Amino acid sequence: MLACFTAQVGVGFLLLSRDERWSTWKLLVETFLIAVALLLVGAARAWDALDTDNWLTYAYVVGLALGAVSLAGLYAAMERSGASRA
């Protein structure tokens, strides 16, 4: 199931990479912001169930956090530039 979700995201971004309009990307970026936020909430709630002795656990959480910050920055920059009105 996770591989299917990952493949769907990858193919979606590959298709969108050919389109330069922010209006095409906006909904997808918003969706990923919500998804990453929910994954972070889920990781925080289930912290006791995660293997905290494994460094990959921390890499996963840090990667999610960096992804959220990057997506939020992209969204804010594009909205500020007025790209959604183009």
Any domain includes 41? yes
Question: What's the pLDDT tens digit per position in 34-73?
Answer: 888 888 898 899 899 989 999 999 998 998 899 889 889 9
Residue 24 structural domain: 20-85
Cα atoms in the 13 Å half-sphere on the side-chain side of 63: 6
Number of domains present in the structure of the chain? 1
Are the C-beta atoms of 71 and 40 separated by less than 8 Å? no
Any domain includes 75? yes
Are the C-beta atoms of 33 and 68 separated by less than 8 Å? yes
Instruction: Look up the pTM and report it.
Output: 0.73
User: Region 5-22: what's the mean pLDDT?
Assistant: 75
Helix (H) or strand (E) holding 53: none
Any domain includes 77? yes
Any domain includes 4? no
Any domain includes 5? no
Are the C-beta atoms of 65 and 40 separated by less than 8 Å? yes
